[in-house]
A and B are shown apart, each in its own frame.
Chain A
């Protein structure tokens, strides 16, 4: 028994789309690890802080990589929203980093929760629908 596709030419996801999905997935893993490290640290394990810093660096780098991939998606797939969403995450992560360094916990805790929610939402969005490469010859269906 064979399943019939409802679309004549099933849209595959472009390479840039796959890079974006990979970055968003890595960002999801790093984002969810951050509160774990914070909990380990505040439970008295001094090394938890170093892990939390490594995690923060990782989230920052992955966020920038994701912005890069989102630029490629904007060009190749002609979708702009991943770029703006990724940029917003980078801005939030930067504020989060500074709030953490400054010890401003009133900002660091709720912003951290919001960031993880945002990372999860972007993850869901980039995996929810295909991100096919589009050319001028094959405009939006």
Chain B
């Protein structure tokens, strides 16, 4: 019998070491094969109809809405929210929920400081509420999720899961007032109904709202046909060519949320730009200004412009969510999360007439790797890119912060035990004040995410101080209203809560997360 005190043989030690090594290597190989690289939060719906060939449908530009009245005090607009059948995929009539019968909704053009009033009439089968994303808006017109406009014949209750004593509910129609005392920027308006924002946006309730000012005008940036609003949004279609969406209750009147496989977010397999699948747009060899909005519920993109000779055209970023940067930033590609905006210049001047430039998505696979195409069809004028842009960006120093807050965005369980998404461990409750900030105070927020969470603050713009404990990334420049956190990532943001007192929100702009708890109250006092 072997002596118990005898040392372990070299052979056995090697065997144990090899076993640990094999387990580690096996785990790494499994992870490399199984995990999504790059990471993606959400599950993709597959369309059940044949999809059109890419770059065959012309790019639509949403119509600019004419005011019904313009006075010295401001402009007044009227919109009707109604259902239409529209041809998104060639040969199919798809039922949409729209602002004024078009998707995206009509574009509103405003001047800084000029009061804009928009009357919304709800002719949809469900309550609605409109939020102007990025707007510096008094709380009463900010589109709080329970401030519903009920459709004709709705039997009184709000149709959402939470009671809210402070809700301002209207019948059939209401006016929203926007002072728009803010920097020139591309804002967007969309439905923000409690529990049902994601399916409402998916069905078409989103549009662009520009704010213009003298700072922007002085730069002589490409305008008119050379300034293109591009709302990128993914969708999926069922066997009848209707929009597919995995709602628990497809009537959007009862149980909220999506079915289990899609809890992390709903991704479509069709990329729409301004409501057209993989469109094509004819350009000349001049400079173009692309005003890009990611209007998708959950899909992130990393955009790059690839010419047919294989070159990547530089994307010159001149603006962010909340308007112009101080100086242009040149990118090879830009990541864009839901609700983020980019103001980009792209110069087709080095390309011959006949060239094609593909706006591609580096995060996509298969057909979602394409977004749209530019076709250079004629010679244009060369326009220089300004070296400096805006000098009116707010600068806040972290030493001036009255409060530093840590906020965690992660998965968890809702009050009813269902899977949901939580902020600091809690699902949204209109009755609970989460953050109370004093008007005029500067605050630093430190945000931590478990998976992708694009975090949006209502009322204010903010600067990004750090990302992952290090310097912000090049595309974090300027004034933001949505910061995209990647899995395990954190960011520090700084802002000053000024403008108006009242009840606002901050939330994840993955629209499915937002509907399943990931919102919180921001009370300005």
Write the residues of chain A forming the contact surface with B, with a CB cutoff of 8 angstroms.
Answer: 6, 41-46, 49-50, 53, 85, 101, 103-111, 113-114, 117-118, 121, 125, 128-129
Contacts and interface: CB of A to CB of B under 8 A. Distances in A.
Contacts, number: 81
12 contacts: A42-B408, A43-B408, A44-B407, A44-B408, A44-B410, A44-B424, A46-B446, A101-B468, A105-B35, A110-B28, A110-B31, A117-B24
Contacts of B20: 117-118, 121
Interface stretch (B63-71, B149-157, B252-260, B487-495): B487-495
A34 B13 CA distance: 27
Contacts of A129: 7-8
Contact of B410 (A6, A42, A111, A125): A42
Which 4 pairs show the lowest CB-CB distances between chains A and B?
A44-B408, A106-B35, A114-B24, A46-B446
B486 interface: yes
B32 interface: yes
The A contact surface, by secondary structure, is helix
Given A44-B407, A110-B28, A118-B20, 11 more contacts: A6-B5, A46-B490, A103-B487, A105-B35, A106-B35, A109-B31, A114-B28, A117-B24, A125-B13, A128-B7, A129-B8
A116 B88 CA distance: 53
A107 B24 CA distance: 11
Instruction: Kindly name the residue among A101, A106, A125 whose own CB sees the greatest number of chain B CB atoms within 10 A.
Output: A106
Contacts of B24: 110-111, 113-114, 117-118
A46 B5 contact: no
B448 interface: yes
B443 to A, nearest CB: 14
Nearest to A41: B448
A114 B31 CA distance: 12
Contacts of A128: 7-8
B33 to A, nearest CB: 9
A85 B36 CA distance: 31
B490 A49 contact: yes
B224 interface: no
B449 to A, nearest CB: 9
Interface string B306-348: 0000000000000000000000000000000000000000000
B23 A117 contact: yes
A121 B17 contact: yes
B11 interface: no
A41 B39 contact: no
A20 to B, nearest CB: 16
B488 A107 contact: no
Contacts of A110: 24, 27-28, 30-31
Nearest to B37: A106
B214 to A, nearest CB: 39
Contacts of A101: 468
A27 B16 CA distance: 20
Nearest to A7: B5
B7 A42 contact: no
Nearest to B406: A46
Nearest to A100: B488
B249 interface: no
A105 B27 CA distance: 13
A71 B216 CA distance: 65
B384 interface: no
B472 to A, nearest CB: 14
Contacts of A49: 448, 468-469, 490
B213 interface: no
Contacts of A113: 24, 27
